Amino acid sequence: MKNNTLTTPLEKILSLVEIFLSEPDGFSAAELQAQTQLTRSTLFTLLAEMKTLGYLEQNEKRGKYRCGARLLAWRAFSGDFRQEMINAFQQEFSRQSFPETLLLVMPLQAQIQVLRQIEGHQTIRCSYQPGSTSDRLDSALGLFSGSDETILNNGFALDAGVEELQIAVPICPDGSTPQAALVMCAPSYRWKMPDFEKSSLPQLKNAAARLSYRMGALTYAPFQLDTSVALPHSSELSESEIQTFLNQPLTARLACLRPDGLPHVIPVWQEWDGQAFTVAAWEGSAWAVFVRNNPNVSLTIDEPWPPFRRLIARGEAQPLPLEPGNGELNQLARRLTQRYMGSAALPPSGVLTAAFYIQPYRLRGWQGLTFSEPAHAD
């Protein structure tokens, strides 16, 4: 939006702030001049000052300007961003348990705020109060300080305290700048740091990357200025990769046939037990009638972020012998609601009227990008 009335230095700076917060990919100097109507000398003076103070960064000389760490922190302090992050965390980990405590944290002034916690299942474990701030999470403090060369090079932070071991891995919605973090913490007596790192770090890095993608990142390269995206080549998922993928709460698209022979495709919540899917029909679902008449169905599940995993399953939908109002159906409704909406979700308002068990006779998955599936994908 052009503005011809920017007169005071404060108005000019705030105008630039609003522009940069509206577009995370950044702007060229020419684009900024067109939007602000500032003189070239004034614009470059303001941009240079904002770069020096850490509010902007520039990937290369004469490249686009984009939000720096301090300006991105403004967005991170907003309630909407925090809630988005909490929702993504709950969806990612709603069905998982860990031997040690996992935290979702964000920086708050000179301390760390704990947004959510999944306590480990050990009798003696670390514990923090969600919503509280702490100065004991040294791994996260080091991560957000941006001054430790080892952390900048590794992309994660370790802290071996007398009482507690910590591993902090950044969540970067823009692909490179940490705005939140996952922290795994454990009592020091139980682990040696090399063993704790080997056991926990790969899982943490994968989870932090997935959360970054959920929050808008196109790539995951913590602390790296060059975040250009290399599109991954397509490859088939292994059996273990399929199992891991299906543990996520991703909506499936169920395809069946109507009585007139036309295809019918509907999004459904699904639960995978390692061998088969359970899908549920809510009150008023026409597809449940179609599937009873013709049980041959297909399911497709995919994710809209890297590594762009996707899966096709085919099988027969067998109705479970459960009547509406049955206790098992109610339990299934609660499980599905918590799986997709998080553990804090309210009880479902709708009524499940039927459930189907689909054991695939064909189950294949891929990851990466391709313009067509292999000819044998069917």
Same fold, 75-214 and 235-377: no
Q: What confidence tens digit (pLDDT) does each residue in 343-366 have?
A: 555 566 667 888 999 999 999 999
pLDDT value for 347: 60
Q: Please give the Cα distance from 55 to 47 (Å, whole number).
A: 9
Q: What integer pLDDT is reported at residue 91 of this predicted model?
A: 78
User: What are the pLDDT digits (tens) for 124-181?
Assistant: 999 998 888 988 899 999 999 888 889 988 889 999 999 999 999 999 988 888 999 9
Structural Rg of the chain based on CA atoms: 24
Q: Show Cβ contacts of residue 33 under 8 Å, excluding neighbours closer than 6 positions.
A: 40, 43
In CATH, which superfamily holds the domain spanning 235-377? Electron Transport, Fmn-binding Protein; Chain A (2.30.110.10)
pLDDT tens per residue across span 246-259: 988 889 999 999 99
Domain ranges, ordered by start, for the chain? 9-67, 75-214, 235-377
Residue 271 in this model has a pLDDT that exceeds 90: yes
Q: What is the mean pLDDT of residues 266-285?
A: 92
Question: DSSP letters of 261-328?
Answer: S-EEEEEE-EEE-SS-EEEEEETT-THHHHHHH--EEEEEEE-SSTT--EEEEEEEEEEPS--TT-HH
DSSP 345: P
Mean model confidence pLDDT for the chain:
83
Instruction: Give the CATH H-level superfamily of domain 75-214.
Output: GAF domain (3.30.450.40)
> 10-52 pLDDT, tens per residue?
778 888 887 877 665 678 888 888 888 888 888 888 888 888 8
- With a pLDDT cut of 70, the percent of the chain lying above it is 84
Q: What is the mean pLDDT of residues 73-99?
A: 74
What is the rounded average pLDDT of the residues 199-222? Answer: 85
State in words which class domain 9-67 has: mainly alpha
Query: Residue range 63-78: average pLDDT?
Result: 68
CB within 8 A of 24, min separation 6: which ones?
66, 67, 173, 174, 216
